[in-house]
């Protein structure tokens, strides 16, 4: 393996490969990406892969909005296909959250996002298979949908390599190298690499690497599960049905190809001791299908086809850690995605590359995502929605 690089990126998911691609687009070609397994084998490959811009805080919404055109124009901007399907997206809320929904839509439209509030009649007309009551409301985005996380990562990686980057899989980073208050490279299972800049884009696996530097990243490893179920005929939505997050029933769902639907539960996540834990709880698939049928009754007679689990790297405010670290020169973070990094990956990659090459992100602001926000008492505050009481539980509420 090579012994030097201008930039070493640790992690070969959507975020890491996006950073590599964008660095080459800015003319930095001495880039080495290291992946402990295979590309997209971690959180990315198990992602729900929803593409949406509806967030309850402006910093995340800006990143998601900056990423959306990349998915829409993938072939021209990156090359190849990312599997993006524009189904439209709807965020459904509990009746008591009407004011929050309206306030968030005002915030989002102020950022230039194409979204609007629909009442029960409009929701039923948009998606005939959706269960709606008279007081129900949802925020609709016509441009959103879902993508293929594996295809997205592989095409980003291929474009990065075409641009001059090198990608080495099956290579684990064992520790960060440093001198004084500066990171100078990495030690791996294949040898040492000296680098001017090391970028961590490896989720929960970043935590033990920074501990040796005296940095305690506020990241909890959480296991998230999704099920794939057979999709009934006769649903009216484009691409199969709407992509959705339904806080009334605690589900997020999207079509998956021609005959399946992916469904997850916003409160099925559990703390795990290791990000390598990929256990699906026995109760999860049946519960996920049951809750999906509450949102779309035609699914009541359908079957679970399979399920899988993957790791999330969750921060206290459920927002990412992006940027340089004061007092630790040479190290850049792109971790702590909290289950929603995939849809923002094209923008995060652009921002991190701009930070490294030009000194400041210009695609979107990343100042709010600094690690120092927690020590300084300024976490990102979201105008979050309630979750239907039928879900119960006390675990973290996560959506993809």
What is the pLDDT tens value at each position of the chain, 400 positions in all? 899 999 999 999 999 999 999 999 999 999 999 999 999 999 999 999 999 999 999 999 999 999 999 999 999 999 999 999 999 999 999 999 999 999 999 999 999 999 999 999 999 999 989 999 999 999 999 999 999 999 999 999 999 999 999 999 999 999 999 987 999 999 999 999 999 999 999 999 999 999 989 999 999 999 999 999 999 988 876 789 999 999 999 999 999 999 999 999 988 778 999 999 889 999 999 999 999 999 999 999 999 999 999 999 999 999 999 999 999 999 999 999 999 999 999 999 999 999 999 999 999 999 999 999 999 999 999 999 999 855 544 344 555 4
Contact present, 322 and 219 (Cβ < 8 Å) = no
Indicate the fold that domain 4-47+150-218+317-375 takes in CATH.
Answer: FAD/NAD(P)-binding domain (3.50.50)
For the chain, where do the domains classified as CATH 3.50.50.60 start and end? 4-47+150-218+317-375
Contact present, 392 and 349 (Cβ < 8 Å) = no
3-state secondary structure of 262: strand
Number of H helices, E strands in the chain: 10, 19
pLDDT of residue 389: 58
251: left (phi over 0), alpha (psi -120 to 50) or beta: beta
- Provide the 10 A C-beta neighbour count for residue 219: 23
pLDDT of residue 1: 82
Alpha-carbon span 380 to 374, nearest angstrom = 9
Longest CA–CA span in the chain (Å) reads 64
- Give the global pTM: 0.96
Indicate the fold that domain 84-144+221-314 takes in CATH.
Answer: D-Amino Acid Oxidase; Chain A, domain 2 (3.30.9)
Alpha-carbon span 261 to 179, nearest angstrom = 50
pLDDT of residue 5: 98
pLDDT of residue 196: 97
- Rounded to 5 degrees, what are φ and ψ at 116? -155, 160
Alpha-carbon span 242 to 88, nearest angstrom = 6
Helix (H) or strand (E) holding 244: strand 243-246
For the chain, where do the domains classified as CATH 3.30.9.10 start and end? 84-144+221-314
């Amino acid at each position: 393996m090579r012994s030097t690089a201008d930039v070493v990126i640790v992690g070969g998911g959507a975020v890491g490969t996006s950073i590599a691609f964008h660095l080459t687009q800015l003319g930095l070609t001495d880039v080495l990406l290291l992946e402990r397994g295979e590309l997209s084998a971690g959180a990315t490959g198990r992602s729900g892969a929803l593409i949406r811009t509806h967030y309850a805080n402006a910093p995340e919404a800006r990143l998601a909005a900056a990423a959306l055109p990349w998915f829409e124009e993938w072939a021209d901007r990156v090359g190849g296909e990312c599997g993006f399907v524009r189904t439209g997206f709807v965020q459904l809320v509990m009746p008591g959250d009407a004011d929050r929904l309206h306030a968030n839509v005002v915030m989002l439209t102020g950022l230039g996002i194409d979204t609007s509030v629909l009442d029960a009649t409009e929701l039923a007309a948009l998606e005939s298979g959706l269960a709606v009551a008279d007081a129900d409301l949802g925020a609709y985005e016509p441009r959103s949908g879902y993508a293929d996380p594996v295809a997205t990562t592989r095409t980003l990686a291929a474009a990065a390599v075409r641009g001059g980057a090198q990608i080495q899989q099956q290579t684990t980073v064992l520790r960060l190298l440093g001198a004084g208050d500066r990171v100078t490279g990495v030690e791996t299972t294949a040898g040492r690499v000296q680098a001017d800049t090391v970028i961590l884009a490896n989720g929960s696996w970043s935590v033990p690497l920074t501990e040796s530097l005296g940095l305690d990243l506020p990241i909890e490893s959480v296991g998230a599960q999704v099920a794939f179920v057979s999709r009934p005929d006769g649903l009216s939505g484009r691409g199969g049905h709407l992509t959705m997050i339904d806080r009334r029933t605690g589900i997020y769902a999207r079509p998956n190809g021609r005959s399946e639907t992916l469904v997850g539960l916003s409160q099925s996540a559990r703390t795990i001791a290791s990000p390598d834990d990929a256990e699906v709880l026995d109760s999860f698939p049946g519960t996920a299908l049951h809750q999906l049928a509450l949102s779309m009754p035609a699914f009541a007679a359908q079957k679970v086809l399979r399920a899988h689990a993957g790791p999330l790297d969750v921060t206290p405010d459920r927002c990412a850690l992006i940027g340089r670290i004061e007092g630790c020169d040479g190290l850049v973070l792109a971790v702590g995605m909290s289950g929603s990094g995939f849809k923002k990956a094209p923008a995060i990659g652009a921002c991190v590359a701009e930070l490294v090459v030009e000194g400041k992100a210009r695609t979107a602001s990343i100042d709010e995502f600094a690690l120092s926000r927690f020590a300084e008492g300024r976490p990102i505050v979201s105008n979050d929605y309630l979750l239907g009481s039928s879900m119960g539980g006390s675990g973290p509420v996560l959506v993809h």
